[in-house]
Amino acid sequence: MRKALSTSMIMFILIAMTLILTLAVTTWLFSIWSSYQETFIIKPIIYVRQEALSTEPVLELYITNEGAKAEKILRIEIKAGDGFYVNKTVIDIEAGFKGSVKVEEWEKEGNPSQIIKGMTYRVYIYTETHGLIFLDVVAE
């Protein structure tokens, strides 16, 4: 003789299955959302070397990459007068990186003026994922 499942038992099984399925879908959606969630911050500081013969700037980038993906800085430009100081060195920024990168090698495009302490300069930072980031920076 077989016993049939009671309606309360069937309701309990359906509710339990619904809760498990809802939890699984919520977890899956959260994992997708968190993989795209990222924080990428760059704070540049320009200063001039203290050596008497050097007129080229030093650019120090304080970088925070709290994202799940690595980033690359492809090109950096400092607008100075009628030209640019340009650095084309590719800088890899790993996921989770928090620190500084110093840029000291520059090519000149056009006729850039000398960097003067206290003056404001526009810095263009070209990145692989975030595109162009530009900031106005006071030279120290």
Per-residue pLDDT at 37 = 64
Q: The tokens of 8 are what?
A: 């309360």
Backbone angles phi, psi at 80, to 5 degrees: -140, 110
CA angle at 27 for the pair 24 and 31, rounded to the nearest 5°:
140
Digit-coded pLDDT (tens) for 10-47: 899 999 999 999 999 998 888 877 666 667 788 888 87
Express as a percent the part of the chain with pLDDT over 90. Answer: 46
Quick check: 103 and 89 in contact, CB under 8 A? Answer: yes
Q: How far is CA 83 from the centre of its chain?
A: 27
Is the pLDDT higher at 35 or at 126? 126
Q: Rounded CA gap, 43 and 61, in Å?
A: 6
Digit-coded pLDDT (tens) for 103-118: 989 999 999 988 888 8
In this prediction the pTM is 0.70
CA angle at 116 for the pair 111 and 119, rounded to the nearest 5°:
100
Quick check: 57 and 78 in contact, CB under 8 A? Answer: yes
Q: The tokens of 63 are what?
A: 């970088």
